[in-house]
Amino acid sequence: MEKISKLHGAGGISTAKLIDEVFIGAYSNSFLEGLSDSAVVPGAERIAVTTDSFVVRPLFFPGGDIGRLAVCGTVNDLLMNGAKPEYITAGYILEEGLDIADLKRIAGSMAKTAEEAGVKIVTGDTKVIEPVDARQPGLIINTSGIGFVDDGTDISPSRIEEGDTVILSGNLGDHHAAILGSRMSIKNHIASDNAPLTEMVTGLMDNGIDIHAMRDVTRGGLATILNELAVASGKHISIEETAIPVSGEVAEFSRLLGLDPLNMGNEGKCVIILPQEESEKALNIIRNSKYGRNACRIGVVYEDATGVTLKTRIGGEKIVSSLYGEGLPRIC
């Protein structure tokens, strides 16, 4: 099988051949033609810009791969500010020894996900480095994204108000559990939720829903994201344990490992805070979108304190803290 070598990163014929074979075919669009040093694209008055790097191992996991993840992560970050994602970049840092067939799969998956998410990959870069672990050569992807923001769109924690409803767009913990399960070679049916939330979020915006704040629930999990929103807004977010959707299999898996779904990472979920009177309409739109079927109202905003609390199954109340360090399995 053909592998990545130093030559592929030397900038000569091998580099050109790799770009041509792997990337141009996958990402063909008018902005990439000519392969100039930068892409020149039409713009807008207000643009959102973001960048993100993806280092996940394994490269392929149940439900996705590093390429799909890169597009979803970048697109979702744009969407959370109410931007309509338009363009993304693809910077590949390849480790020597990587199978070119794997690279093609990843580039293809990235292209497919970009199409689903409604963005164009307009420029890219390739470098080759020594592998960190020669037995498992991998790659790192950096993506930057540009989205257009309509005049009048204002989504920010400072708009969170007392009485607002907190909506979670679906089940917690799937991505984290899928990656851990795959690293630990545990056989189950848990698949990553990595997904672009374009349909869901543009659906809300197009229907004039007045979203006060919105965040994608990635690293650190819901607990950390809600704490950040609470601190940024100076409000008290109260959520209900019984309202938080977690699949049976993920609940079981996390209990076995001593992990809490509230602290587990997701790659296709968001939390939306909006006026209570808009919540019914918003829930309908979210539930009718491809990745929002299990969306739920999970909590309410109060003004009496700053922080996050959870009403437990048996009627108790506890403070929800941000995740500290990694979510580690217990040893006892």
Partner 1 sequence: MELSKAIEYLKNYNGRQLRLMEVCGTHTAAIRNSGLPSIISERIHLVSGPGCPVCVTVTGYIDKLISLSKDSRNVIVTFGDLMRVPGSEMDLSRAKSEGADIRFVYSPLDMIRMAEEDRDHVYIFAAVGFETTTPVYAALISEAEKSGTGNIRLLTALKTMPEAIIKSAEGIDGFLAPGHVAVITGTKPYEELAGKLELPFVVSGFKEEGLAAAIYALVKMAQSGERRCLNLYPQAVREEGSVLAGAAIAKYFESGDAVWRGIGLIPGSGMYLKEEFQRLDAGSRGIDGNTETPGCMCAKVITGRIRPDECHLFGKTCTVDHPVGACMVSQEGACFVASSVSPGSLREKSVSCSGSKIH
Q: Rounded to an integer, what distance in angstroms lies between the CA atom of residue 185 and that of residue 205?
A: 41
Contact call for residues 226 and 239 (beta carbons, < 8 A): yes
Q: With respect to partner 1, which residue has the nearer C-beta, 187 or 330?
A: 330
What is the closest distance, in whole angstroms, from the C-beta atom of residue 12 to partner 1 in the complex? 35
To the nearest 10°, report the CA torsion of 242, 245, 248, 252. -70
What token pair was written down for 182? 């795959």
Closer residue to partner 1, CB minimum distance, 287 or 311 = 311
- Nearest approach, Cβ of residue 68 and partner 1 (Å): 25
Least CB distance to partner 1 at residue 252 (A):
13
Question: Which residue's CB is nearer to partner 1, number 197 or number 226?
Answer: 226
Q: Which of 125, 317 has the CB closer to partner 1?
A: 317
How far CA 208 is from CA of 46, 281, 282, in Å, comes to 19, 10, 10
Residue with token string 């093609």: 104
Q: How far is the CB of 168 from partner 1 (least distance, A)?
A: 19
Q: CA angle at residue 225 from 179 to 78, to 5 degrees?
A: 80
Q: To which residue do tokens 């108000």 refer?
A: 161
Measuring CA to CA, which residue among 167, 324, 164 is closest to residue 236? Answer: 164
In angstroms, give the least distance from the CB of 58 to partner 1.
15
Specify whether the CB–CB gap between 212 and 158 falls below 8 A. Answer: no
Smallest gap from residue 64 Cβ to partner 1 (A)? 21
For the CB of residue 162, give the shortest distance to partner 1 in the complex, in Å.
Answer: 12
Considering the complex, state which of residue 32 and residue 230 has its C-beta at the smaller distance from partner 1.
230
Q: How far is the CB of 229 from partner 1 (least distance, A)?
A: 12
Q: Which residues contact partner 1 (rule: CB under 8 A)?
A: 135, 180, 183-184, 227, 230-231, 236, 257-258, 260, 303-319, 321, 324-326, 328-332
Q: Are 161 and 213 in contact (CB under 8 A)?
A: no
Secondary structure element (H or E) that encloses residue 52, with its range: strand 47-54
Structure tokens given for 322 = 């941000």
Q: Residue 293 has what DSSP assignment?
A: T
d(CA 132, CA 118) in angstroms, rounded, equals: 34
Answer yes or no: are the C-beta atoms of 124 and 91 closer than 8 Å. Answer: yes
Tokens matching residue 285: 């739109």
Residues in the chain: 332
Q: How far apart are CA 150 and CA 46, in angstroms?
A: 7
Looking at the Cβ atoms of 145 and 181, the one nearer to partner 1 is 181
Q: How far apart are CA 50 and CA 67, in angstroms?
A: 17
CB-nearer residue toward partner 1: 230 or 296: 230
C-alpha to C-alpha distance for 165 and 211, rounded to whole angstroms: 10
CB of 251 to partner 1, least distance (A): 12
Q: In this complex, which beta carbon is closest to partner 1, that of residue 79 or of residue 310?
A: 310
Token pair 């509230």 is found at: 262
